[in-house]
Amino acid sequence: MCVSQSVLDYIEPLSDENITVTDTVFADVPVRLYLPKRKSETPRRAVIYLHGGAYFFGSFKQAGFDSLNRRTANKLDAVVVAVDYRLAPQHRSPAQFEDSMAVVKFFFQDEILTKYGVDPTRVCISGDSAGGRLATAVTQQVQNDLEIKHKIKVQALLYPHLQVIDSYLPSLRESENGIVVTRDLAIKLLGLYVSEDKTLPEAMRRNQHMPLESGHLFKFVNWSILLPKKYRKDHVYTEPVFGRTNYSFPALTDVRVSPLLANDSQLQNLPLTYILTCQYDISRDEGLMYVSRLQNVGVQVAHEHIEDGFHGALSYMTRPLYLHLGLRIRDMYISWLDSNL
């Protein structure tokens, strides 16, 4: 594929001579470690990265994620831990959350932090898409668990998926036929992630999948209140309809699957948060609502919205397809980390 010189200039290759890349295992979970070679007199920053892919696809070996993590380690002179959690449909919820939590707990052991020269007060957890959902849920758990000694300094969420409650958000309607992810595909994958019951995705398409006892949760994803006016436009809000069949899927009301369901007292303990949203993205409104919910309880939030952005853009940073958009999001993310971690 022919790549324009302007894009080649923007890529600005970094030498891997400054880091060592090693595949290993933390708490029985495969991880890829990016370790700076240069000796440091002071402990380093660290980033734990959870990749996207709807829980069905992706790996720390995927070129886009590997490139992002190499650049993060190089630019920040930081230790980066990329997690290779189990994938659906062989492993449904909460397997991915459990793997991610296991890695964080393992990494936060004093002897492990010392081994890799990491400052326990300067650790970030970040992720994109479904990985953003995992990063959100893990951060909520870590910050509210009194038994976990060390806490996360910042979290960075890149076009995150954050709920399975309402399938009629404005962004789900506007980007129904999205560039990378369509509404139909997202619902199909979410349904399979939650259960093997083939009737669930069809109920989700009609927004009639929530159990009767879940009505009190709708306020946490009420976009008519939580979305800024410019994104509500002329859309009319209607609450999700309770399922007409007797669904019994605990994952539908599980905060680990829908971190937007966390109550205000849980959100109050969260760290400085970076959220990046894209205009042409079915998950746009989920990120925007999380911005509102965090700000409403006093959590510091840095929000960047990409008007020409679309879901999955970080996948387009390596051969054979380079997009300025993916490279721009990459650089915005790393720049924010450099200033705040």
Query: Which active-site residues does the annotation give?
Result: 129
Closest CA to 123 of 160, 148, 151: 151
What 22-30 contacts at long range (C-beta under 8 Å, 24+ apart), as own/partner pairs, is 26/81, 26/102, 26/103, 26/106, 26/107, 27/102, 27/103, 27/105, 27/106, 28/102, 29/83, 29/84, 29/85, 29/99, 29/102, 29/103, 30/60, 30/83, 30/84
Phi first, then psi, for residue 303 (nearest 5°) are: -120, 130
Three-state DSSP at 5 gives helix
* Region for 55 from its dihedrals, namely left if φ exceeds 0, alpha if ψ lies in -120 to 50, beta otherwise: left
CA distance 227 to 24: 42
CA distance 70 to 24: 16
CA distance 336 to 248: 42
- As separate numbers, helices (DSSP H) first and strands (DSSP E) second, the chain gives 13, 10
Say if CB 59 and CB 51 are below 8 A apart: yes
Say if CB 279 and CB 309 are below 8 A apart: yes
CA distance 308 to 305: 9
CA distance 36 to 74: 7
Residue 78 CB neighbours (<10 A):
25
CA distance 289 to 294: 9
